[in-house]
C-alpha cells in the first residue's frame, strides 16, 4: 500500500501559532502510524514563500521579500523539528525546483486547452502605481457584509473576486483603487464541474472527507464553478512561461497547491525513486489543513490534477475546525495567539501534541486554555498514564526483582489488547484521532 500525506503549507510571513499546529498535527500522526504498520509513506510540505502576505510584511519592515521568507522558513523548520514532525521533505515554494515544476504544470494545462487568455478589469492603485494582488484589496463582503480581503471572506468562506468587494481599499496605502484593464490567463473550471460533483458524491458516500469539507464543497458546486484567473500582476512568485506575459506571475492559489506534487517530484529525484510508484490511481492520499483551505483542496487541486491527467486525486480530506484561545478567536493582528517558538521553550513537545490531539477541533471549534492545558498534563498524562506505567514498573521491581517473568499471557487479556489495536488503528485511518486516543486511554 502507498500512502501520500500532504500537510498544508504555512505562509512564511509570521510565526506559527497553536492554531496552525492543531490543523497540521494529524499529518504527522498518520505518517508515524502507517510507517509503524510497514506501509510505504511519503509525507511532504513546505513554506509558502510566494504571494502577497510576504510582500506586505517586507513593505512593513522595509526589507526584502527573501529576508522575510528565509527568516520564517528557518523558524518553521525549527518548530516542526522540535515537535517531532517526520516530514520526508519539507521544502519551500521559492525553490527553483518548485518554480520549474509549476511552469511545466502550467504549460501542460495550456497544451491540454484548459487555459485561455482574457482581458479583464483589475484594481489598480494610482498612489502606489501598481495593479493590486487580490489580498491587497480589502473591503466589505457582498455576501455576508463582514470585512473581507479580495480573494476570500473568512466569515462566510465565499471565494471572492476583489472587484465584488464593497468600499474597496488598497491594503498598502488605504486609498480607493481605480479599475484598469489588463490581460490574464484563465482556467476553465467549468469544464470539470460534472466530474467534481461525481468525485465529491463518492467521497461523501465512502465517508472519506470531514463533514465540513463535504458541506462546503457541495455548496461551491451548487453555486456553479466560474472560470478563474490563474495569472496575476504580483511582486513575487513563479513567472508565467509564455511570451507577452513577462513580469506576470502564476497565481498563488494554483501554484501553492501544486506544491504537493512538486515536492513529491523533488523527493523522488533526490531519492532516485519513480514518481509513478507514489502517485497513481491506487495511492491513498491524505490532505491535512484548516477549514479555511477546504476549496483549494477539494475543488481547485482536483481540477488541476484532472487538467494535467493525473489519476492520484485526493482520497481523504482532513480539514480541522478552528482552535480558539481562552474562548476568543485567534488573531495575529491583535497578537492574541500562543506562538510556537515561545511555547516550545517552556513546555515539552509531547505535552503539546497530546493536548492538541485529545482536544482536536475535528468536527467543531475547540478551545485552548492554560488551565486546561496544565490540567491535561498533570491529571491525564502524569496522573493517569504516568501513574499506570510507574505502578507497573514498581510492581515488577518489587515482586520479581526487576525481571519480567516468562509466562503464558491470559487469553482474554491478549484478545482484548489485539482488538484494541484494531479498533484504534481503524479510527486513526479515517482521521478520528481524538476518539482513537480516548479509546486507547
Q: What's the pLDDT tens digit per position in 338-377?
A: 999 999 999 999 999 999 999 999 999 999 999 999 999 9
Q: What is the pLDDT of residue 90?
A: 98
- Measured from the Cβ of residue 300, the count of other Cβ atoms closer than 10 Å reads 25
Predicted confidence (pLDDT) at residue 97 exceeds the cutoff of 90 = yes
Cα-Cα end-to-end distance for the chain: 29
Q: What's the pLDDT tens digit per position in 158-213?
A: 888 899 999 999 988 899 999 999 899 999 999 999 999 999 999 999 999 999 99
237 touches 255 (CB < 8 A): yes
- The mean pLDDT value for 413-425 works out to 96
Assigned fold of 2-113+193-209+252-358 = Rossmann fold (3.40.50)
- Show Cβ contacts of residue 363 under 8 Å, excluding neighbours closer than 6 positions: 210, 211, 212, 321
Outline where DSSP puts E strands in 65-159.
89-92, 115-125, 130-131, 137-140, 147-149
- The mean pLDDT value for 9-21 works out to 95
In eight-state DSSP terms, residue 409 is P
Predicted confidence (pLDDT) at residue 333 exceeds the cutoff of 80 = no
Does residue 224 or residue 77 have the better pLDDT?
A: 77
Q: How far is CA 65 from the centre of its chain?
A: 22
Q: What is the pLDDT of residue 234?
A: 81
- Measured from the Cβ of residue 421, the count of other Cβ atoms closer than 10 Å reads 10
β-bridge partners, 264:
none
Q: What is the pLDDT of residue 69?
A: 96
Predicted confidence (pLDDT) at residue 235 exceeds the cutoff of 80 = no
- Measured from the Cβ of residue 92, the count of other Cβ atoms closer than 10 Å reads 22
Query: Kind and range of the H or E element at 44?
Result: strand 40-47
- Show Cβ contacts of residue 161 under 8 Å, excluding neighbours closer than 6 positions: 134, 150
The cell numbers describing 251, all together, are 497565481
The cell numbers describing 177, all together, are 483603487
Dihedral class, residue 240 (left if φ above 0, else alpha if ψ from -120 to 50, else beta): beta
- Crossing angle of helices 65-82 and 52-61, rounded to 10°: 110
Does residue 242 or residue 136 have the better pLDDT?
A: 242
Q: What is the pLDDT of residue 134?
A: 84
Confidence of residue 328 (pLDDT cuts 50, 70, 90): very high
- Crossing angle of helices 433-440 and 349-358, rounded to 10°: 110
Query: Kind and range of the H or E element at 184?
Result: strand 178-187
Q: What is the pLDDT of residue 55?
A: 82
Alpha helices in 39-89 (DSSP H): 52-61, 65-82
177 touches 132 (CB < 8 A): yes
Q: Which residues of 144-157 are buried (b: 16+ CB within 10 A; e: fewer)?
A: eeeebbbbbbeeeb
91 touches 263 (CB < 8 A): yes
Predicted confidence (pLDDT) at residue 104 exceeds the cutoff of 90 = yes
Q: What is the pLDDT of residue 93?
A: 97
Q: State what percent of residues in the chain have pLDDT above 70.
A: 100
3-state helix, strand, coil in the chain (%, to 5): 50, 20, 30
- Measured from the Cβ of residue 367, the count of other Cβ atoms closer than 10 Å reads 14
CATH 3.40.50.620 placement within the chain: 2-113+193-209+252-358
Predicted confidence (pLDDT) at residue 252 exceeds the cutoff of 90 = no
Q: What is the pLDDT of residue 154?
A: 82
Q: What is the pLDDT of residue 136?
A: 85
Predicted confidence (pLDDT) at residue 294 exceeds the cutoff of 90 = yes
Owner of C-alpha cell 492520499? 285
- Measured from the Cβ of residue 236, the count of other Cβ atoms closer than 10 Å reads 20
Query: Kind and range of the H or E element at 198?
Result: helix 193-206
Predicted confidence (pLDDT) at residue 319 exceeds the cutoff of 80 = yes
Q: What is the pLDDT of residue 335?
A: 87
The cell numbers describing 400, all together, are 520479581
Q: What's the pLDDT tens digit per position in 44-79?
A: 999 999 977 788 788 889 999 999 999 999 999 999
Predicted confidence (pLDDT) at residue 150 exceeds the cutoff of 90 = no
β-bridge partners, 117:
185
- CA 215-218-220 angle, 5° bins: 110
Pairing of strands 115-125, 178-187: antiparallel
Compute the distance between CA of residue 53 and CA of residue 349 in angstroms, rounded to an integer.
Answer: 29
Confidence of residue 9 (pLDDT cuts 50, 70, 90): very high
- The mean pLDDT value for 230-239 works out to 89
Q: What is the pLDDT of residue 247?
A: 87
Predicted confidence (pLDDT) at residue 120 exceeds the cutoff of 80 = yes
- The mean pLDDT value for 423-438 works out to 96
SS3 category, 250: strand
Q: What's the pLDDT tens digit per position in 377-396?
A: 999 999 999 999 999 999 99
Amino acid at each position: 500500500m502507498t500512502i501520500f500525506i500532504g500537510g498544508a503549507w504555512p505562509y512564511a510571513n509570521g510565526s506559527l501559532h497553536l492554531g496552525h499546529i492543531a490543523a497540521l498535527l494529524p499529518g504527522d500522526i498518520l505518517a508515524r502510524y502507517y510507517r509503524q504498520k510497514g506501509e510505504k509513506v511519503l509525507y511532504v510540505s513546505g513554506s509558502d514563500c510566494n504571494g502577497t502576505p510576504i510582500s506586505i510584511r517586507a513593505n512593513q519592515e522595509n526589507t526584502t521579500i527573501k529576508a522575510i521568507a528565509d527568516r520564517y522558513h528557518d523558524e518553521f523548520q525549527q518548530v516542526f523539528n522540535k515537535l517531532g514532525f517526520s516530514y520526508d521533505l519539507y521544502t519551500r515554494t521559492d525553490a527553483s525546483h518548485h518554480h520549474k515544476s509549476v511552469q511545466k504544470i502550467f504549460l501542460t494545462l495550456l497544451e491540454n486547452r484548459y487555459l485561455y487568455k482574457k482581458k479583464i478589469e483589475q484594481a489598480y492603485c494610482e498612489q502606489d502605481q501598481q495593479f493590486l494582488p487580490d489580498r491587497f484589496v480589502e473591503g466589505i463582503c457582498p455576501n455576508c457584509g463582514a470585512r473581507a480581503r479580495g480573494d476570500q471572506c473568512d466569515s462566510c468562506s465565499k471565494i471572492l473576486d476583489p472587484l465584488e468587494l464593497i468600499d474597496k481599499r488598497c491594503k498598502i496605502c488605504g486609498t480607493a483603487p481605480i479599475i484598469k484593464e489588463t490581460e490574464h490567463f484563465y482556467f476553465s473550471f467549468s469544464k470539470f464541474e460534472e466530474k467534481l460533483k461525481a468525485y465529491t458524491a463518492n467521497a461523501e458516500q465512502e465517508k472519506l472527507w470531514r463533514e465540513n469539507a463535504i458541506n462546503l464543497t457541495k455548496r461551491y458546486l451548487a453555486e456553479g464553478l466560474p472560470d478563474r484567473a490563474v495569472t496575476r500582476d504580483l511582486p513575487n512568485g513563479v513567472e508565467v512561461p509564455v511570451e507577452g506575459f513577462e513580469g506576470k506571475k502564476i497565481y498563488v492559489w494554483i501554484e501553492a497547491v501544486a506544491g504537493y506534487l512538486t515536492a513529491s517530484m523533488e523527493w523522488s529525484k533526490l531519492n532516485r525513486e519513480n514518481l509513478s510508484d507514489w502517485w497513481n490511481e491506487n495511492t491513498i492520499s491524505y490532505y491535512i489543513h484548516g477549514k479555511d483551505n477546504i476549496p483549494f483542496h477539494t475543488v481547485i487541486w482536483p481540477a488541476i490534477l484532472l487538467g494535467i491527467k493525473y489519476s492520484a486525486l485526493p482520497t481523504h480530506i482532513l480539514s480541522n475546525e478552528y482552535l480558539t484561545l481562552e474562548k476568543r478567536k485567534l488573531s495575529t493582528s491583535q497578537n492574541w495567539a500562543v506562538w510556537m517558538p515561545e511555547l516550545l521553550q517552556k513546555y515539552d513537545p509531547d505535552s503539546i501534541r497530546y493536548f492538541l490531539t485529545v482536544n482536536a477541533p475535528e468536527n467543531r471549534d475547540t478551545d485552548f486554555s492554560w488551565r486546561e492545558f496544565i490540567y491535561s498534563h498533570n491529571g491525564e498524562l502524569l496522573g493517569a498514564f504516568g501513574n499506570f506505567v510507574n505502578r507497573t514498573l514498581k510492581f515488577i521491581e518489587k515482586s520479581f526483582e526487576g525481571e519480567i517473568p516468562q509466562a503464558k499471557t491470559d487469553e482474554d487479556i491478549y484478545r482484548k489488547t489485539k482488538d484494541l489495536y484494531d479498533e484504534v488503528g481503524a479510527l486513526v485511518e479515517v482521521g478520528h484521532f481524538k476518539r482513537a486516543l480516548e479509546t486507547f486511554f
